[in-house]
Amino acid sequence: MSSLARQQARAHRALARRQTRANRSGRKKKSRPQLVLPGQLVFSDRVSLEHRFMLRPDPQMRELFFYLLGYFARMHGLRIHAVVLMSTHYHLLFTDVLGRRGDFFRDFHSMLTKAVQVYRGTESYVFDKSPTSQPECVTEQAGVEAMAYLITNPTEAGICEDPTKWPGLFTRVEDAGRRRVERFAKPAKLRREDGTYVSFLDAELWPDFVDLEQEPLCDALAVDPDVCVELVRREVAARIAVKREEQKTSGRGFVGVLHALHQRVTKQAASWWIPETLDGKIRPRVKAGRGQGPARARAIVRLFAFWDAHEDARKRILAGETDVVFPAGTFRWHRLFGFPRDEMQAGFFEMTSAFG
């Protein structure tokens, strides 16, 4: 067995041991720290409470979402590569240039929640209590697949055969190789569903316009723009073809954009119920492309090493040591509590042959 295969097997055994210990103890699993490095390519999503249609992208909701996204992305140094707003969730592919995505999610989700509550006329929570999913794309192929998944989300949700017809989809296939900027106006007045108007943003504190800048994925992957666009195009076409065949086999059709946009915001999507067998399932921290198991294994080994080093530093702090340095990738103990950490830039684990 090669050293790489042994490394991969060791990573899978470690995952199994951790899951077994958690199941036997009957206790709630302790949350593991997020590995946050400058330069990571991250594919994130966040789901509404009980999969309700609170984020339904009607014109005003679309304006609200993309205005706030552009504002906080610029504030915290995120390079947006792709984004789609669905009725129950959103997907975002970005490069975390400064390693501050924790600050971004805190501010963006807080302000977006306030915006949705005001617009929808509710005091209910908008997002569920599960943490924001933010796996790191550890290979170039993972980035391509993530962008294709994001673009085809309206189709794979059974809404429309052509995903570009969905008003919540900001990204196009061609954006993998080009920079795009769209301006969104400040939502100072919101027209609620009952026809009343309500003020939202303070005119003096917020800019009148925000430019949502979408940087090309080819820059993040350091590949030729035409090659990147072609790879994303192939992946998108393949995913749409699979969904069309699935719809044809099952005898179901696409529900249509107008039908989806006229659903009540309090209605729950059919996917909101989670069977007991899947409740508490492992949420991925890393994402590799299809057939790139060795690269994923190396990323998992790095993640376990980070967790062990982080826990060791935390215990030393609690024991009274004062010269503790946390490992690279530490976010909370460094940003909130000011403890020093090692510094390291993110990098891909594998270059796919398709990129040349």
φ, ψ dihedrals at 321, nearest 5°: -70, 145
pLDDT of 42 over the 90 cut: yes
Query: Which tokens go with 84?
Result: 């789609």
| Strands 78-85 and 89-96, sheet pairing | antiparallel
Give the H/E segment covering residue 40: strand 40-47
On whether the CB atoms of residues 288 and 136 are closer than 8 A, the answer is: no
pLDDT at res. 39? 95
**Which CATH number does the domain housing residue 188 bear?**
3.30.70.1290
CA distance 123 to 326: 39
Residue 28 has pLDDT above 80, yes or no: no
* Domain with 87 in it: 40-272+281-286
Average pLDDT over residues 288-294: 93
On the question of pLDDT at 206 being above 80, the answer is yes
Q: Looking at 53-67, 196-210, 329-343, which range is the least confident one? A: 196-210
Closest CA to 259 of 158, 135, 113, 127: 158
Q: Reduced to 3 states, what is the DSSP secondary structure of residue 312?
A: helix
Domain count, the chain: 1
* pLDDT(57) > 50: yes
Whether the per-residue pLDDT at 279 is higher than 90: the answer is no
Residue 20 is predicted with a pLDDT of 58
Strand order in the sheet with 180-185: 180-185, 209-214, 78-85, 89-96, 40-47, 136-137, 286-287
The tokens of 15 are what? 């995952």
Over pLDDT 70: what percentage of the chain?
Answer: 86
Burial of 231 (0-12, 13-18, 19+ CB in 10 A): buried
Q: What is the pLDDT of residue 160?
A: 94
Q: What pLDDT score does 266 carry?
A: 84
Residue 161 placed within a domain:
yes
> 32 in a domain, yes or no?
no
Q: Strand pairing of 136-137 and 78-85? A: unpaired
| Alpha carbon 136 to its chain's center | 9
Q: What does the pLDDT read at residue 141? A: 95
Separation CA 124–CA 268 (nearest Å): 14
The pLDDT of residue 310 is 95
Res 347: pLDDT: 81
Contact status, residue 49 vs residue 126, Cβ threshold 8 Å: yes
Report whether 333 contacts 318 (CB < 8 A).
no
Reported as a single tens digit per residue, the pLDDT across 59-110 is 999 999 999 999 999 999 999 999 999 999 999 999 999 999 999 999 999 9
In a domain, 353, yes or no: no
In a domain, 179, yes or no: yes
User: For residue 203, what pLDDT is reported?
Assistant: 66
The percentage of the chain sitting over the pLDDT mark of 90, rounded to a whole number, equals: 63
Residue 82 is assigned to a structural domain of this protein? yes
Q: Identify the pLDDT of residue 353.
A: 47
Do the beta carbons of residue 286 and residue 135 sit within 8 Å? yes
Pairing state between β 286-287 and 136-137: parallel
Residue 5 has pLDDT above 70, yes or no: no
User: How far apart, in whole angstroms, are the C-alpha atoms of residue 60 and residue 146?
Assistant: 27
Helices (H), the chain: 3-25, 59-75, 101-120, 140-151, 153-156, 217-221, 225-250, 257-261, 293-318, 332-335
Q: Is residue 13 part of a domain?
A: no
Residue 326 tokens, joined: 């946390």
Q: Would residue 7 count as lying in a domain?
A: no
> 147 lies in a domain?
yes
Residue 95 has a pLDDT of 97
Give 18's pLDDT tier (boundaries 50, 70, 90): low
Predicted structure pTM score: 0.87
Please give the mean pLDDT across all residues of the chain: 87
pLDDT of residue 130: 83
Output the six-digit token pair for 348: 């891909």
pLDDT digits (tens, 9 = 90+) for 106-164: 999 999 999 898 888 888 889 988 889 999 999 999 999 999 999 999 999 999 999 99
Q: Give the confidence band of 257 by pLDDT, cuts at 50, 70, 90.
A: very high
pLDDT number for residue 267:
85
Tokens 């919540």 map to which residue? 168
159-181 pLDDT tens trace: 999 999 999 999 999 999 999 99
